């Protein structure tokens, strides 16, 4: 059991060191992103740049989604 206790302590110590290293890497990434002009963290796509949609594109997307929901509701009513 003493061997396992020592191993567990060693693993916890290694995890702590890894967490510190990850924190340092995150800080370095943030500094570089600020130098490049990026605001805040990366987007979910990982590119760091947010895409801007025109009002017309937003309208088309909205209309398409409304049409999908209308079709779904119509199928649901027909099944009932």
pLDDT digit string (tens) for the chain, length 80 residues: 678 888 999 999 999 999 999 999 999 988 888 888 865 555 555 556 678 899 999 999 999 999 999 999 999 999 87
Which pLDDT score is estimated for 25?
A: 94
Q: Is residue 30 a part of any domain in this protein?
A: yes
Which structural domain, as residue segments, surrounds residue 7?
2-42+54-79
Read off the tokens for 3.
Answer: 């061997």
Q: Is residue 47 a part of any domain in this protein?
A: no
Q: Is residue 49 a part of any domain in this protein?
A: no
- Spatial separation of the C-alpha atoms in residues 26 and 18, rounded to whole Å: 12
Q: 3-state DSSP helix/strand/coil percent for the chain, to nearest 5?
A: 75, 0, 25
Q: Give, in order, the Cα–Cα distances in Å from 7 to each of 2, 15, 16, 46.
A: 9, 12, 14, 37
Number of structural domains (the chain) is 1
């Amino acid at each position: 059991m003493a061997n396992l206790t020592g191993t567990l302590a060693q693993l916890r110590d290694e995890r702590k060191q890894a967490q510190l290293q990850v924190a340092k890497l995150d800080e370095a990434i943030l500094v570089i992103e600020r130098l490049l002009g990026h605001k805040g963290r990366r987007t979910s796509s990982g590119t760091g740049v947010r895409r801007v949609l025109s009002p017309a594109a937003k309208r088309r997307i909205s209309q398409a989604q409304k049409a999908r929901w209308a079709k779904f509701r119509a199928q649901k009513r027909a099944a009932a």
